[in-house]
Chains A and B, each alone.
Chain A
Amino acid sequence: MRVGIPQGLFYVYYYPLWKTFFTDLGVEVLSTPPSNRKIIDQGIAHAVDETCFPVKVYFGHIAELCQEEMDYLFVPRFVSVERKHYICPKFMGVPDMVRASFTKLPPLLSPLVDLSRTDKHWRKEIMKVGRHFTWRGKKIEQAYQHGMEELERFRQLTRQGYSPPEALLVWEGKKLPLPGKGDLNIGVLGHGYALYDEAISMGLIKRLREMECNVYMVEMIEKSYIESRAATLPKRVFWTLGRKIAGSALYLHQQTDIDGLIYLACFGCGPDSLIGDLVKRNMQDKPYMMLTVDEHSGEAGINTRLEAFCDMLRRRRINSESNLPTYGQLLYSLQGSVEGP
């Protein structure tokens, strides 16, 4: 038996769980390579015009996957992954949009992920997926348990400083060095399925590292810090990812060693337009830049903005350092007649 998992949307958050779960049930897991030009073109051709770019790219992955023989295609229906918080409504419709857009599809496995009120249904959904491959309930439960353990191992890697795509490679057994140290500390925010997809974010993280920046991501921050900062907002952010972004932004804002924040927004993303602005209003004097991406592949725009942002941070730092009386010069000149230190 073979199951196809497209490398898009929540792949970057949950792949270790899915992969382990299916493998433990004796299923071969097929996936797609990281997004590339061909996948993107196919996605744009198949997806509805009005969706955001990451959803279109996801469709491209499905088109790519459909060239292979497989028994099932795994397209979960995400509604909520925790109590009283939700995922963008587009995710709810993804399996339906997929069915409507493709003519030849293997049967879909679309468990309903809705933990907004209770996790009782979720257990049933897991069983339903597992029953396609085995009738032994215990085996299914063990596979899911094992999957959660592997997911935790993966999350541990992201906390160490690997970006999620790097952590996925390390999780699969590849040896990767931790990213090198730079002289600027920059917090990078955005929806993971956009931010960590090199084709969608135009390699934002890679570019920043090439410009000698240390990149701080939501996944690297202690969960309790994020939650406590998010709780200070006057109204609860009911999107799971949005809350994490906002909480992380508030946390990073308080850290004096973080030089600036960059928010990667997708053109046409509703949550981004709200959270991006919410973050901006709470930034006060911390440099903050919002980048909006869509289908374009021209690099001049993103390069100019990133270079200018880094230039600004470095020049600002020189300026603020020279205002500090560390060398005794400024103190002397300010006080004029007072003897130098």
Chain B
Amino acid sequence: MNCYLGIDIGSVSSNFVLIDEKGRVLLDLYMRTHGNPIRAVQEGLALLQEKVDVKELVISGVGTTGSGRYLAAVLTGADVVKNEITAHAVAAAFYYPHVRTVIEIGGQDSKMILLKNGIVYDFAMNTVCAAGTGSFLDQQAARLQIPIEQFGGLAAHAQQPVRIAGRCGVFAESDMIHKQQMGYPTEDILMGLCEALVRNYLNNVGKGKKIEEPIVFQGGVAANQGLHQAFERNLGMKINIPPYYAVMGAMGAALLAREHIENVRHSTQFKGFDFIVDSDFQTQSFECKSCPNLCEVVSIRCGDQILAYWGDRCKRWESSIKMKHSRLKVI
């Protein structure tokens, strides 16, 4: 059976989705990146290999997305490398063809994507501040010693959410500590935080944007029932959560890979499970001293072979590899 693999390497989680030719999800994986995207890719593919009978499946295309998309593309030989916004929009429009607004909250980013006829026509991302994203919730849950999985459930039981400052993560934390020391129940504080984050999101990311139904809420944070409730209450609209909400980026990447293979290129560059899982990928970074820019250049190598360089502003290192690649192709 032909299938397509989507990989989303985010700052906090790494997600993998296998879909068949019709777009049905065969397998989805959500795991933590733990600050090591290379190991995340290898572990993810090793898990996929365990769970499905790889011999029965043929990977016909691979798409990568997320902030680690270039790295993942180099390791796997991806056919499509797409930004998260397009990937999320494509996935949302696949499940909800008439979707108008996508709310996506991930580990470091929060985004709002507005669509018309299945096409992105406007989007916004959080600017310099990452308050109100998954990693801030993670951090607060850890501080209160509540497993992040139970955070939303607890918040949803709040009787009277307390008021927490939502403009800045630092202010929110000091507000939370203050209220906690005054004796407010934990669930009320948690729900207060959810309300604050929603306010922050709508005023910051959604500033001046017209939010219209149908609305889809996706990304790892969509698991949080407290936020789901807070969004519905604040907007007074119904919020849909897609079945594979946590891996929608990977889903979009898989769909884009399918589109690309079907329309443009007919064979995949996928390097194969065994190669990716068994290879010893090394990264090395050094300061390029060729000019006063002192770029921090990273090289990804597999044994003796250098797969990629990046980080150099003048592209002196990056382009040296591309040339070799193209030469290889000609032969």
Which residues in window 280-297 of B have CB below 8 A to A?
291-295
Q: Complex formed: what's the CA distance from A294 to B129 in Å?
A: 12
Q: Is B188 an interface residue (CB 8 A)?
A: no
Residues of B contacting A89 with CB < 8 Å? none
In the assembled complex, the Cα of A267 lies from the Cα of B119 at a distance in Å of 31
CA distance A169 to B86 in the complex (A): 38
Q: Say if the beta carbon of A224 comes within 8 Å of chain B.
A: no
A334 interface residue per 8 A CB criterion: no
Measured between beta carbons, the chain B residues less than 8 angstroms from A303 are 83
How many interface residues does B have (CB within 8 Å)? 24
CB distance from A32 to the nearest CB of B (A): 10
Among A143-151, A157-165, A227-235, A304-312, the stretch that binds chain B is A304-312
CA distance A318 to B83 in the complex (A): 19
Q: Interface segment, A5-13, A21-29, A33-41?
A: A33-41
- Is the CB–CB distance between B208 and A280 below 8 Å? yes
Give the contacting residue for A287; candidates B117, B122, B127, B295; CB below 8 A. B122
Residues of B within 8 A of A318 (CB): 119
Is A240's CB within 8 Å of the partner chain B? no
A81 to B104, CA, bound (A): 46
Known A294-B128, A303-B83, A307-B83; contact A312-B292, beta-carbon cutoff 8 A: no
B128 contacts A37, CB within 8 Å?
no
Residues of chain B within 8 A (CB-CB) of A104 are: none
Whether, in the assembled complex, A118 has its beta carbon less than 8 Å from a beta carbon of chain B, the answer is no
Is the CB–CB distance between B128 and A311 below 8 Å?
A: no
Q: In the bound complex, do residue A267 and residue B128 qualify as a contact, i.e. CB atoms below 8 Å apart?
A: yes
- The reply to whether B86 and A308 form a contact with Cβ atoms under 8 Å apart is yes
A38 contact from B109, B121, B292, Cβ within 8 A: B292
Of the candidates B86, B208, B291, the one whose C-beta lies within 8 Å of that of A311 is: B86
User: Quick one: given A203-B313, A292-B127, are A36 and B119 in contact (CB under 8 Å)?
Assistant: no
Question: In whole angstroms, how far apart are the Cα atoms of A33 and B314 in the complex?
Answer: 15
Q: Report A's interface with B, CB cutoff 8 A.
A: 33, 36-39, 198-199, 203, 267, 280-281, 287, 290, 292, 294, 300, 303-305, 307-308, 311-312, 315-316, 318-319
What are 30 A-B contacts defined by CB distance under 8 Å? Answer: A36-B291, A36-B292, A36-B293, A36-B294, A37-B293, A37-B295, A38-B292, A38-B293, A39-B292, A198-B313, A287-B122, A290-B127, A304-B85, A304-B125, A305-B83, A308-B83, A308-B85, A308-B86, A308-B123, A311-B83, A311-B120, A312-B86, A312-B119, A312-B120, A312-B122, A316-B119, A316-B120, A316-B121, A318-B119, A319-B119
